[in-house]
């Protein structure tokens, strides 16, 4: 009972220290509000209002039908230009895409001669250039098929390909980026809060005050775990409800309580990692450098930006020992696909076991550090 009281009051001390640090408070608010919003709305993987021009050397019904197929929100209204304006317009960055429809294009289509349309692409915006090229190809193919069928020249295709996009029908990048940003901030800020609190106590000399009290290293460490984890959990709930669902109107398919339960288990690992980095770092500058290396590694290997399956086989086996990989896996499954506990229970167990092992390791290192300080 006395131990639980010590852990509780030490945690309250951590919360009061956090409240008195305006820089950390501002960082937390910024990360879970403005950062989530700007990343969700500021970057987009889909084509949006792309500038496009059209060189119509055929001036036929089919060419006009193709030009009218490009419209908002994917493309701006096509500008009709001459062939001599292609290079100057592309050089000046006026157009991302320029289509050149050759003479007798409609006649060649009706005669089954398989004519070609030249598509000029400004690939300085590489991601949108690649996606936009596939959009253009699909639009032109659909318009040609519709034209041939309307003129009586088309025939029924042997296979009708029907594409259904699950979980994100409109492929809206803000749905993906907003949740991804929250996952990033959970990892980064939990490590920063816990490690910075430990280093701040060492630099201010308050760690010596704790050492003269009848406290154990376990009580000091677990107090930092629950207090800093609680701060991140509250910030996550607020960001999820106010920013993601409220401002961005992102639908959350799965159970919020299940996601928060999994986040709580993951926070156990993240706070332990913060204690570990705060123990081995001798100053706040060293801690900041370690944060950069650790966060970049966890983000690259967790599968949040690129699928784990795209990594080499030997590296995939190593990432199985990273709780961040399992956290990203069950977070996306719950939020996007509405997965239940019967599907994500194995990731929950993996995060719990790996987090417990790392906490024991960090606690041992922290205990030795305190012993040397006495």
Whether the pLDDT of residue 79 is over 70: the answer is: yes
Q: What is Dmax (Cα atoms) for the chain?
A: 93
pLDDT (tens digit, 9 = 90+) per residue, 346-357? 999 999 999 999
Q: What is the pTM of this model?
A: 0.76
Tell me the average pLDDT across 302-320: 83
pLDDT (tens digit, 9 = 90+) per residue, 249-288? 888 888 999 999 999 999 989 999 998 998 888 888 888 8
pLDDT at 352: 93
pLDDT at 279: 87
Residue 132: what are its φ and ψ, rounded to 5°? -65, -35
CB-based burial label for 315 (10 Å; 0-12, 13-18, 19+): exposed
Give the pairing type, strands 97-101 and 118-121: antiparallel
Length of the chain (residues): 374
Q: What do you get for the CA distance between the two ends of the chain, in Å?
A: 26
Boundaries of every domain in the chain: 2-43+171-373, 52-150
Tell me the average pLDDT across 223-238: 92
Distance between CA atoms of residues 38 and 60, nearest Å: 44
* Contact status, residue 365 vs residue 217, Cβ threshold 8 Å: no
Question: At the top level of CATH, which class does the domain 52-150 belong to?
Answer: alpha beta
pLDDT (tens digit, 9 = 90+) per residue, 2-33? 788 888 888 888 888 888 888 888 989 999 99
User: Which one, of 141, 184, 177, 147, lies nearest residue 161 by Cα?
Assistant: 141
pLDDT at 126: 66
pLDDT band at 151 (very low <50, low <70, confident <90, very high): low
Q: What angle do CA 359, 365, 369 make, to 5 degrees?
A: 135
């Amino acid at each position: 009972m006395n131990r639980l009281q010590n852990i509780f009051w030490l945690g309250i001390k951590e919360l009061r220290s956090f409240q008195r640090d305006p820089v950390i408070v501002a960082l937390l608010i910024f990360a879970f509000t403005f950062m989530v919003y700007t990343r969700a709305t500021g970057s987009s993987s889909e084509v949006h209002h792309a500038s496009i021009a059209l060189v119509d050397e055929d001036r036929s019904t089919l060419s006009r039908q193709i030009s009218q197929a490009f419209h908002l929100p994917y493309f701006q209204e096509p500008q009709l230009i001459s062939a001599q304006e292609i290079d100057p317009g592309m050089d000046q960055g006026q157009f991302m895409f320029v289509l050149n429809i050759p003479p007798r294009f409609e006649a060649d289509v009706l005669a089954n001669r398989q004519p070609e349309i030249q598509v000029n692409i400004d690939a300085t915006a590489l991601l949108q250039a690649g996606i936009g090229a596939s959009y253009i190809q699909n639009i032109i193919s659909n318009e040609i098929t519709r034209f041939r069928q309307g003129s009586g020249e088309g025939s029924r295709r042997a296979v009708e390909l029907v594409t259904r996009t699950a979980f994100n029908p409109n492929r809206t990048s803000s749905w993906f980026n907003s949740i991804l940003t929250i996952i990033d901030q959970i990892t980064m800020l939990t490590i920063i809060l816990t490690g910075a609190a430990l280093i701040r106590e060492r630099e201010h000399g308050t760690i010596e005050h704790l050492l003269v009290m009848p406290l154990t290293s376990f009580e000091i460490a677990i107090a930092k775990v629950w207090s800093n984890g609680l701060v991140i959990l509250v910030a996550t709930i607020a960001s999820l409800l106010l920013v993601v669902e409220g401002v961005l109107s992102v639908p959350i398919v799965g159970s919020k309580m299940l996601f928060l339960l999994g986040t709580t288990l993951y926070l156990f690992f993240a706070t332990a990692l913060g204690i570990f980095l705060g123990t081995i770092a001798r100053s706040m500058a060293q801690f900041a450098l370690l944060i950069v290396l650790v966060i970049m590694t966890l983000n690259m290997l967790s599968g949040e930006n690129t699928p784990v399956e795209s990594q080499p086989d030997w590296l995939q086996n190593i990432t199985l020992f990273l709780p961040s990989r399992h956290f990203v896996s069950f977070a996306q499954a719950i939020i996007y696909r509405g997965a239940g506990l019967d599907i994500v229970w194995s990731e929950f167990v993996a995060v719990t076991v790996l987090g417990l092992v790392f906490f024991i390791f960090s606690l041992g290192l922290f205990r030795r550090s305190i012993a040397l300080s006495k």
